[in-house]
Each structure stands twice: as C-alpha cells, then as structure tokens.
C-alpha cells in the first residue's frame, strides 16, 4: 500500500512538482497551501508523513509542527528556504524528524522520506 504524504507549503508550483515527482516513487500526495488547511488535512487525510515549510501564511511552520505534536507522532520533514543552523535546531527541538533546506536534490528528499518512514514503522 502506498504511503500517504501531506505537503504543507504555500508554493503551489512546488506542491505540484513534488506531487508529480513523488508519485513516481509510489507515494500518494496531498497538499495544503496554508497552515489552517494543513492542520485540517492532518486530521482528515491521516498522512504517514508530513513535509512542512516554515514560512506559511497565517502561522509559521514551527507553530504548525508544535500543534501537530500535541496530538500526533506522524513523522515531519521540514523542507524550507530557511537553512541556518538555529532554524534547524528549533525545528528539530519542536518535533520535526528531519530538516532539509531548499534548494534541495529531489532524490535526497526521497531517500530522507524513505528513511524516516522506515524508522516510524
């Protein structure tokens, strides 16, 4: 059965690219363009993994991560343009399982997704 991934990122073009790319690896992809929509889909889609941006309209990805962690242990990979060390540390301390700065190599993202899902199982 295909693993379900929820991408929460306000970049619609990136969401569409990830959807096409990750589908080739057997993942089922859902996306949300803002924090509120993302939090709703966490409850309705019940994803196996979440890819989360930090810079979102409405609230930061850090806050979204914190809210998800209040009720769920779903694996989270932060995928964001904010690549400085303190952002990585904060993201991991708030409960993210991995952190990948943009721009990124798509195959590396797939490898990280597979590794995080393996650990989660």
Q: Provide φ and ψ at 119, rounded to 5°.
A: -65, -35
Whether the predicted pLDDT of 1 surpasses 80: no
pTM here is 0.96
Q: Encode pLDDT of 48-104 as tens digits.
A: 999 999 999 999 999 999 999 999 999 999 999 988 999 999 999 999 999 999 999
Query: How far is residue 17's CA from residue 14's CA, in Å, rounded to a whole number?
Result: 5
Whether the predicted pLDDT of 106 surpasses 80: yes
Q: What is the pLDDT of residue 92?
A: 96
Task: With H, G, I as helix, E, B as strand and everything else as coil, classify residue 89.
Answer: helix
Q: Which residues touch 82 (CB under 8 Å, ≥6 apart)?
A: 54, 55, 101
**Position of tokens 């904010």?**
82
Q: Specify whether the CB–CB gap between 120 and 96 falls below 8 A.
A: no
* pLDDT tier at 3, thresholds 50, 70, 90: very high
Q: Encode pLDDT of 8-61 as tens digits.
A: 999 999 999 999 999 999 999 999 999 999 999 999 999 999 999 999 999 999
Task: With H, G, I as helix, E, B as strand and everything else as coil, classify residue 60.
Answer: coil
Whether the predicted pLDDT of 121 surpasses 90: no
């Amino acid at each position: 059965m295909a693993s379900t991934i929820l991408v929460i990122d306000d970049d619609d073009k990136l969401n569409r690219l990830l959807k096409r790319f990750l589908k080739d690896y057997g993942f089922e992809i859902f996306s949300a363009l803002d924090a509120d929509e993302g939090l709703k889909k966490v409850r309705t889609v019940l994803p196996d993994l979440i890819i989360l941006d930090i810079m979102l309209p409405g609230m930061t990805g850090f806050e979204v991560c914190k809210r998800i962690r209040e009720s769920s242990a779903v694996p989270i990979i932060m995928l964001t343009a904010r690549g400085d060390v303190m952002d990585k540390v904060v993201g991991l301390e708030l409960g993210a399982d991995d952190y990948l700065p943009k721009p990124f190599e798509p195959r590396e993202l797939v490898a990280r997704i597979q590794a995080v899902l393996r650990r989660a199982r």
